[in-house]
Structures are given as structure tokens and as C-alpha cells.
Structure 1
């Protein structure tokens, strides 16, 4: 069984607005700098430059359920599945991302990942609510 942390943020935007922004890999550097930067598309596949090298990112097919799960194939070839949802929350949206402990990951590394994801979700909120720097 995997150790998981569910992190969430409320965004004062509709689910379709949040979904459209997040599902576009070109927007990753604007809200998820913890993943990396330098996003490029090649033959319909998306890549991001990470501190460890080039990684491929693939979102689940477009849907109306707010499912934004994506797989990141790391430079070492490992596939990391990232569960991500945009859920209706009153007039806004709750974005929920699950951070999972990788095999052999230390407590300190897990906490570092959790902190990075928390910062990314907070930035997503600021960007979509128009309060980003």
C-alpha cells in the first residue's frame, strides 16, 4: 500500500475554466514550476525540462468530469502517475492533487515533494484568480 497525501486548494473560477488551463501542458511553467520549465510539443507529445533532464508528460484524455490525471515519464524512464481532479465547490473549484510516496523515498523527500506541490497549487490559485506576480 502506498503512502499518499491529498492536497487541495479552492479556486474562485469555474471547473471548465480551471480544467482548460490545467490540461494545457503549455501552461505548466506558469503554475507548476516545481515540475520544471521549458515545455515543448513534438509530434503531439509534450515534454518538460526538469532538473534531472527531459521528461514526457501525458494527460488523461479530455473529459467533462474534471479528471486531470497525468503520467510523467522521468529522464530515467520511470513513470509517475499523478492523480489530479478539478471538483465543483460552490461557485468555484476545488483542485485536489495526490502526492504518493515512491518506493524507497525517504520521509524528508516525501515532505519536500508535498511542499513543492503545495506551492504549485497555491500558485495555480493566484494565477487563475489574477493575483500572480
Structure 2
């Protein structure tokens, strides 16, 4: 079954290594992706985020030199959601690209709502990094 995807991106006026270093640290998620959850803890080698739906486990791709920030979110219901995310060089800055996948049964309104939330998270990531708050 194919899925509908939308690529959302933001240019960040910071070197790609700095963007990758900040965004790949799960402890920083509440600073730039508050829609995912408010608190992050590391227990028994795993990262957990408290969300309105309950506790989720987040697992990022291993450290790499290619800017791959893909991660999996294991939901309280046991579903694993794969999230493609990249930081690529864009001149002296970076572009962060998030691929939003439409879940089966998701309405147009829900997909648009999620796109808005992701866009807000990317804008916040840009503000945090460009302000030097990272």
C-alpha cells in the first residue's frame, strides 16, 4: 500500500554539523519539537518522551556523517512510526527536510493539521539554532 507524503523544509543559517548535532540529541526534542512531548528521559539505554497520549520511545538513526536524523517512535499502543528527517548542507547553512507521511485512515484535515505542527516545529528549530540558544 502506498502512502501520501509531503516534504516540509526550512533553511537554517547555521553549519550542517551544528544543526545535526543539536537535532540528533533526543534531550533537545522539547526545545524544538514540543508537539511531540514535553519531557524526555533516558532509561536503560532508551529515550522516552511524555506525550498527551502517553509515554513513547524514540530511537534515532545511529550517528552518521550524512545528516540522517531518521527516527522511530514506538507509541503507547505498540505502533512504530517511522519519521524520515534529514539535515543537508545548503551553502554555508543547512536545510532540514521532514517527510510527513499520511497514516492510513487519516483525513485531509488531520494531515493538514500535522503538516502545520511539523512546520511550526521546523520554524522553532530554526529560531533556536539561529539565536545561538543550542
Category of TM-score, reference length = shorter chain: over 0.9
Q: 1:69 aligns to what?
A: 70
Normalising by structure 1, we get a TM-score of 0.97
Q: 1:22 aligns to what?
A: 23
Q: 1:105 aligns to what?
A: 106
Aligned positions of 1:47-126 closer than 5 A? 47-126=48-127
Normalising by structure 2, we get a TM-score of 0.96
Q: 2:44 aligns to what?
A: 43
Q: Aligned partners of 1:120 and 1:75: how far apart in 2?
A: 22
Q: 2:14 aligns to what?
A: 13
State the SS of the aligned residue for 2:89: strand
Cα distance change on mapping 1:131 and 1:63 into 2, 3 Å: closer
Q: Aligned partners of 1:36 and 1:5: how far apart in 2?
A: 22
Structure 2 unaligned regions, length at least 5: none
Query: Once the 2 structures are TM-superposed, how far is the Cα of residue 43 of structure 1 from its aligned partner?
Result: 1.3
Q: How many residues align?
A: 132
Structure 1 unaligned regions, length at least 5: none
